[in-house]
Amino acid sequence: MKGIAANITLLEFGLPVLERPRRAAELGFDAIECLFPYDLGRGIFAEALDGANLALVLINTPVSGWDHGDRGRAAVPGEAKAFRKELKQAMRYAKSCGAPMLHIMSGTTDAPGARDTLVDNLRAAADAQPDLTLTIEPLNPGDAPGYWLNSFERAAEVLDAVDRPNVALQFDSWHAHRIHGDAAGVWREHGHRAAHVQIAGLDGRGAPDPGHPEEARLYAAMVESVYDGWVSVEYPDPDPQDAEWLSTLRSALAA
């Protein structure tokens, strides 16, 4: 494991976005991820990261209306031109801020051509930027109704079809738990495909709880598989006052 990152989009720390990297560092996180940083100037955000001495490990491709249900367009037939435009924006931002990974948002669709659209877009994106790792993440239907990439089996099929070394799985324990009911079992089947991991408490998407039986099994399975990427803590909290669980989590992931 490279270290434990904080998702500063969901972990707000009661602070403006540009002040969150500093607070994450104070609490003991090793890095950050930020889902949609595009409203922040690239130079200003890079300065905030440098000031906190934390790396930015991942961003998402842009969405035009998250609050209105937009979840990207990489799998949406007929949206290739718009996807390419958003992808270029994301790649420029990732490069300027030093983010090595970009989560490609598949989008909401039930069109028959969605799978082939996603495969074609991922291949083109991977070939255009071979030094950037592209990830795809299954989202559970309860939190993301209609999202095309809604199972780990579907993600595995897409990854096999894309067949590019810089396209990988983004494993989110909350979504694995909600989709399949056994996050550790999903990891044992699909964890070898993962380049990035996101975790949260599995009872209610709160802070991780290494003492929770299912979470403990997941962390043990990750250790057993010698996962060597980042683990990002991703749960909604407007103002977490501490991260007492962080040292326990770090021990569980290093066992």
Q: Which residue has the tokens 């490990």?
A: 57
Per the listing, tokens 């056994």 go with 182
Catalytic residue among 86, 137, 214, 215: 137
CA distance 75 to 103: 13
234 as an active site residue: the answer is yes
189 is catalytic: no
Cα dist. 142→64, 181, 193, 196, 233 in Å? 21, 13, 24, 22, 20
Q: Indicate which residue of 33, 86, 215, 234 is catalytic.
A: 234
Q: b/e per residue, 22-34, with b = 16+ CB within 10 A? A: bbbbebebbbbbb
DSSP 3-state of 15: coil
> Which residues are tagged catalytic?
137, 234
